[in-house]
Structure 1
Amino acid sequence: MSKSIRSAAVAFTVCFAMAAGAQDTIQIGKDGNVKVHSGGSKVDVRGGNVKVESEGTRTTVGVERDGDDDKKDADDDSSSEIDITGAGRKETLACNGTTEVSISGSSNELTFTGVCKRVDVTGSSNKVTLDAVERIDVTGTDNTVTWKKAAGGRKKPKVSSTGTDNKVSQR
């Protein structure tokens, strides 16, 4: 990762911690990796990725490299992940075309804007609305997943649905 991106990531992390009133820990490793832990929230900047975890949600965002970087970290990729766990959450989140979403819980109402690469739903009575998606996997009971359009040049997303009374349909 270029020094300017790493510096920006460090500055973002420290500002985030200060704004959140973080008093727990801020760690900056010799390799430039940064970790902030405060209450139930964590921010981890490593190898070009920024991972944010808070109350059952985890988001990983890849950072593009400058052309002047000669080497690439082995764990660097430009994909992102959104992990949702728990019950009764109502949120709107954004996918970036490479986002892989994992939902595990019950009675969540989740809307995803943009293009999701893959969405996995496990649990019961979850309602998931998608703008665009390449693949949908649903297990559990009474989950409803609706999608507006397929992504990746397909007419329909790849769909796997197992369990009882799960519904996957185009809206």
Structure 2
Amino acid sequence: MSKGIRSAAAAFTICLAMTAGAQDTVQIGKDGNVKVRSGGSKVDVRGGSVKVESEGTHTTVEMARDEGDDKEGSKEDSDDSSEIDITGAGRKETLACNGTTEVSISGSSNELTFTGACKRVDVTGSSNKVTLDAVERIDVTGTGNTVTWKKGAGGRKKPRVSSTGTDNTVSQR
């Protein structure tokens, strides 16, 4: 994870700790990992991922490394694959793929944009709107999902597409 993201997470955590009630907990490890527990919500920042759980929803985001990060010594530096798991409803976000990123979207009425090249994108649920810069494979199930892509990735002119369900649309933009 980039030093900037880790620092921002730590700063956010410290601010949250200042307003936290007795049942809330904030932990900052010597390794820079951050854990926040407040009511029914949890946020874990560990290595190259941010995991968020709140009222039945769960999201894990693996962050792409910044080009300026050190390349010495940590396990995350040698792992060039990543996963992005989005669950829940009504989310609107822009996330980055790094060429090996596999994306899983499950839920409804999400509006998600992915920059960079995604290896695979799986969309399940209903009424999700997904916009992709580049992708190798798209799998869509459910109802009323819309996926648009700009170009193929991984040496492909077009992504491999599988679309099942009702009223799903997968098209080039």
- Of the three residues 9, 13, 18, the one matched with 2:14 is 18
Where do residues 144-155 of structure 1 align in structure 2 (5 Å cutoff)? Answer: 144-155=146-157
* Counterpart Cα distance in 2 of 1:8 and 1:126: 31
Cα shift at 1:85: 1.5
Equivalent residue number for residue 45 of structure 1: 46
Check if 1:84 corresponds to 2:83: no
Name the counterpart of 2:111: 109
Give unmatched runs, 5+ long, in structure 2: none
Q: Structure 1 residues 10 and 84, CA, compared in 2 at 3 Å: closer, same or farther? A: closer
Cα deviation digits, residues 37-56 of structure 1 (max 9, x gap): 1432413324xx23242654
* TM-score scaled by length of structure 1: 0.74
Alpha carbons of 1:67 and 1:102: their partners in 2 closer, same or farther (altered >3 Å)?
closer
Give yes or no for contact 2:49–2:60 (8 Å, CA) kept in 1. no
SS in 2 for 1:141: coil
Q: Percent identity?
A: 61
Partners in 1 of 2:105 and 2:72 — Cα distance? 38
Give the TM-score, by structure 2 length: 0.73
RMSD: 3.2
Superposed CA offset, 1:67-116 (max 9, x none): 653xx749x62223222212222222222222221111112222222222
Distance 1:62 1:78 in 2: 8
CA distance, structure 2, for counterparts of residue 19 and residue 164 of structure 1: 46
Residue 35 of structure 1 is matched in structure 2 by 34
Give the drift of 1:61: 2.2
Paired amino acid for 1:45: R
> For residues 131 and 4 of structure 2, what CA distance do their matches in structure 1 show?
34
- Assess, with a 3 A threshold, how the Cα gap between structure 1 residues 105 and 11 changes in structure 2: closer, same or farther: closer
- Identify unmatched segments of 5+ residues in structure 1: none
Q: 1:26 to 1:106 in 2, by over 3 A?
A: same
Does the 8 A contact of 2:133 with 2:151 survive in 1?
yes
- Return closer, same or farther for 1:107/1:63 CA change in 2, 3 Å cut-off: closer
Equivalent residue number for residue 170 of structure 1: 172
Cα displacement string for residues 15-52 of structure 1 (whole angstroms, at most 9, x for unaligned residues): 2311444643344568x372311432413324xx2324
CA distance in 2, matches of 1:62, 1:155: 24
Greater CA drift, 129-138 or 97-106:
97-106
Secondary structure of 1:15's partner? helix
